[in-house]
Structure 1
Amino acid sequence: MKKSSPALAVLAATAALGLAASPASAGGRHHPPSPPPAPVAGEVTTVADGLNSPLSFAVGRRGTLDVAQSFIGLLTRVTGGGEPEVLAAEPEGYGVAGVSRARGTTYYTAGIGAGTYNPETTIALLKSVDRDGNVETVADIAAYEFAENPDSINTYGFEEALPAECAAQLPPTLAPAPYTGLTDSNPVASLPSRDGVFVADAGMNALVLAGYDGSVSTVAVLPPIPFTVTAETAGAFGLPECIVGLTYSVEPVPTDVERGPDGALYVTALPGGLEGAAPGSVFRIDPATGVTELVAAGFFGATGLAVNDNGDIFVAELFGSRISVVPAGSDTPELFLEVNQPAALELRGDALYASVDALAGAAPTEPSTEEPPVAEPPAEPAPTAASIIRIELDNNCGRDHHHGGRHGHTGNGVRDGGEED
């Protein structure tokens, strides 16, 4: 991610839709296929609490949770609602994210220095923990970014440089002139496959494949997101009037990756530098060709997703405090469940798991010397810690797709390397 607001900077500091075919009628006439009903949220239970910044997690056998407590650099395991067990601890200042599981191995990303654009201070690694607790580095993602810079093929920002008077009024998250992708690495999501682990990098604006031999290659670079500034948007977000009517090509900051029932990869993306004003998106990527297409937009902080076997796409909207669903065959998000600050989603069996209150207590502010204003207490106290909830699903026909889950085609002749673990 090259440009971001303070809210998104906090996040960065951490580390084809299926349609069910209908049979012909008895009269021999054929009817067009219709999608199955969208999933409906059922009973909600808390399965883990007392967590700090769980921006990524994976669900294993019998509901075991491997959780990245991103801001404090811990990868932990929660079993049966018990106390977290530390699987891996990174040095102070490091963030962890990108948790996935396959064949008894847990994968995660760890790093420091995102946003510095400096190869000397940026560390971004894909790591693994095996059944015996051995931690190893699988691939150096930052080294690949500084050597190759995949999104240098993209041009972001305004079509032309702004006059100096207008440029001086811009917030620091927006560039006054066009620019190409800069070198920055912040891997935030992973997905194991037979040939390696797919990694979504929020600094690189790309999806890469990290081979088990340590090699790294580009799968796809996400396309810039064009956004035309309206007077309404400028007024609501404090943008200068001089950019009203101009189009800004926003950086597509990937936040999660999952495999769909069609073998394609689905990726959520934040609009770097204009989150809130510009919508978040979901992209579909053919892993064999890298061809990328927009599936849906209109999300407020799209930080996690899950795809079921019908092709329904669940999206966590961190800044919108809701989980949305894009029903199979649709490009329009619908409300699935209102929850506070959802960050990551995983499907397992007939349930959707979500981390909620994900930023609670995770971003302390500097103490103020001013007297606090007198105000009525809130109706409900603000959460002091994050948790993971389990949401029973109705109308969720078909098995789930999740990190390191059941074997499934990746769309390039590769089968998922995962198993039930």
Structure 2
Amino acid sequence: MLRSADPRRRARRTLLTLTAAIALVGSAVAPAQAHGGPGHPSTPKRIASGLDNPRQLTVTGSGDVYVAEAGTGGSDAASCLTGPEGDEVCLGTTGAVTRVTRKGWQSRVVSNLPSLAASDGSAAIGPSDVEWLGGKALAVLIGLGANPEVRDGMGAMGARLGTLQLAKVGSNRTWTLADLAAYEAKANPIHDPDSNPSSILRVGDKFLVTDAGGNDLVKLSWGRTSTVAVFDDQLVDAPPFLGLPPGTQIPAQAVPTAVVRGPDGAYYVSQLTGFPFPAGKANIFRVVPGHAPTVWASGLTNVTSLAFDSRGALYAVQLADNGLLAGPEDAPPMGSLVKVSRHGTHRVVAGDLVAPYGVAIRGRDAYVSTCSVCPGDGEVWRVSL
């Protein structure tokens, strides 16, 4: 757990201040700007609004979009505690899943999910991803962002943080499919125990999950959890405010954020990169079970989500195009949806996005969640590819 004397903690607190500032901009931010290629004029269309800290999303074959909302924490003072960053956060049941039908109807179809957040609803941790399983069944991933032991004493609701839940459309009851945080506490393949499940991929009768806190990719199969890949630190230049000699490098954790399956059958994993969240240092890893991860694409910044289109092209969401610590404290990070190139320049498909996070693709349309750290002001946009 980070301490106040640590400059990395101060930088992280800067990030939390920044996320609080995002909540102030809300729907006043201008619409996303598209950069369609020749023959592909594109005007992004907002299909959902009023979301509480929206994160990853998925789109079904029929065109329904499901988005995970991290929620706004709780308002009962008895449910507040000191969070992993030393700030007061409150546990509540404001996490949710919203569905937007192909006809444009928006409604919350699962509620009463765990959520931790600051008193203003910012810096939320809760539902981080959702996978449609068919019919009314959903798999909902719940984040944590801390040492698993912080759940001790938080009751039944707190025990669902850091887990994969089975949910049903129209019902607020869920069932625990796997406890990712407990697995991290036991296996802990790298660094101190820390779990923040961030993305889920269903493959047949198993699930693949990225744990941004544990810096690994894990597999859930028939009630068993195992490690598929571990992502090592990289050395990056120390930011000037640390006061270190010029040229000093420090380790930055990988922070894997999303997993998708490629047309070749391999898994592709994005990374946010840890402190100091440097621009241009985020990679996309190719993972083949039984082998060490390899860098498939590089030169990206703070990537949070991935999606392949039907032609095999890979798209990525950059949460902050210039790096999370690059902008002023009182302004939100601005990110983009990019088409990834293995050896060249990544092409911006939609830019000027306010804290974008998740992406899902159906046909020639991409669906992107934005204002991902905004309580009440999160949105989903449809972008033509």
What is the TM-score of this pair, normalised by structure 2?
A: 0.72
Structure 2 CA distance for partners of 1:147 and 1:66, relative to 1, 3 Å? same
Letter in 2 for 1:108: V
Letter in 2 for 1:75: V
The corresponding residue for 2:247 is 245
81, 86, 90: which one aligns with 2:113 = 90
Q: What is the alpha-carbon distance in structure 2 between the residues aligned to residue 39 and residue 300 of structure 1? A: 28
Q: Where do residues 308-323 of structure 1 align in structure 2 (5 Å cutoff)?
A: 308-320=309-321, 321-323=335-337
The corresponding residue for 2:122 is none
**Residues 188 and 200, structure 1, Cα contact 8 Å, conserved in 2:** yes
**Residues 184 and 195, structure 2, Cα contact 8 Å, conserved in 1:** yes
Q: What is the alpha-carbon distance in structure 2 between the residues aligned to residue 277 and residue 294 of structure 1? A: 17
Q: Offset of 1:109 from its aligned partner?
A: 1.3
Residue 273 of structure 2 aligns to a residue in which SS? strand
The corresponding residue for 1:20 is none
Aligned residues: 308
Structure 2 CA distance for partners of 1:85 and 1:241, relative to 1, 3 Å? closer
Q: Offset of 1:268 from its aligned partner?
A: 1.1
The corresponding residue for 1:126 is 164
Q: Offset of 1:298 from its aligned partner?
A: 2.8
Q: Offset of 1:41 from its aligned partner?
A: 6.4
Q: Offset of 1:132 from its aligned partner?
A: 7.3
Q: Offset of 1:38 from its aligned partner?
A: 10
The corresponding residue for 2:325 is none
Letter in 2 for 1:334: R
Structure 2 CA distance for partners of 1:310 and 1:92, relative to 1, 3 Å? closer
Residue 220 of structure 2 aligns to a residue in which SS? strand
Q: What are the superposed Cα offsets for residues 188-224 of structure 1, whole Å, 9 maximum, x if unpaired? A: 100001241101111110000112x321111101122
Q: Offset of 1:86 from its aligned partner?
A: 3.1
Letter in 2 for 1:141: L
The corresponding residue for 1:350 is 364
**Residues 119 and 146, structure 1, Cα contact 8 Å, conserved in 2:** no
Q: What is the alpha-carbon distance in structure 1 between the residues aligned to residue 305 and residue 70 of structure 2? A: 14
The corresponding residue for 1:68 is 68
Letter in 2 for 1:197: F
208, 214, 220: which one aligns with 1:198 = 208
333, 337, 355: which one aligns with 1:341 = 355
The corresponding residue for 1:140 is 179
Structure 2 CA distance for partners of 1:264 and 1:358, relative to 1, 3 Å? same
Larger Cα-atom Rg: 1
Q: What is the alpha-carbon distance in structure 2 between the residues aligned to residue 84 and residue 274 of structure 1? A: 38
**Residues 345 and 353, structure 1, Cα contact 8 Å, conserved in 2:** yes
Q: What is the alpha-carbon distance in structure 2 between the residues aligned to residue 39 and residue 295 of structure 1? A: 29
Structure 2 CA distance for partners of 1:342 and 1:111, relative to 1, 3 Å? closer
**Residues 143 and 198, structure 2, Cα contact 8 Å, conserved in 1:** no
The corresponding residue for 2:276 is 274
96, 109, 127: which one aligns with 2:141 = 109
The corresponding residue for 1:6 is 13
Q: What is the alpha-carbon distance in structure 2 between the residues aligned to residue 127 and residue 201 of structure 1? A: 15
Q: Where do residues 199-214 of structure 1 align in structure 2 (5 Å cutoff)?
A: 199-211=209-221, 213-214=222-223
198, 215, 218: which one aligns with 2:227 = 218
Q: Offset of 1:302 from its aligned partner?
A: 1.0
The corresponding residue for 1:285 is 287
Q: What is the alpha-carbon distance in structure 2 between the residues aligned to residue 317 and residue 41 of structure 1? A: 22
Structure 2 CA distance for partners of 1:68 and 1:248, relative to 1, 3 Å? same
Q: Where do residues 121-200 of structure 1 align in structure 2 (5 Å cutoff)?
A: 121=152, 123-130=161-168, 133=171, 135-151=174-190, 181-200=191-210
Q: Offset of 1:7 from its aligned partner?
A: 6.0
Structure 2 CA distance for partners of 1:100 and 1:65, relative to 1, 3 Å? same
**Residues 356 and 369, structure 2, Cα contact 8 Å, conserved in 1:** yes
Q: Offset of 1:89 from its aligned partner?
A: 1.8
Q: What is the alpha-carbon distance in structure 1 between the residues aligned to residue 359 and residue 113 of structure 2? A: 23
Letter in 1 for 2:104: G
Residue 185 of structure 2 aligns to a residue in which SS? helix
RMSD over aligned Cα atoms: 3.0
* 1:99 correspondence with 2:130: yes
Give the share of equivalent positions with the same residue, in percent.
Answer: 28
Structure 2 CA distance for partners of 1:145 and 1:92, relative to 1, 3 Å? closer
Letter in 1 for 2:346: P
Residue 319 of structure 1 aligns to a residue in which SS? coil
**Residues 127 and 141, structure 2, Cα contact 8 Å, conserved in 1:** yes
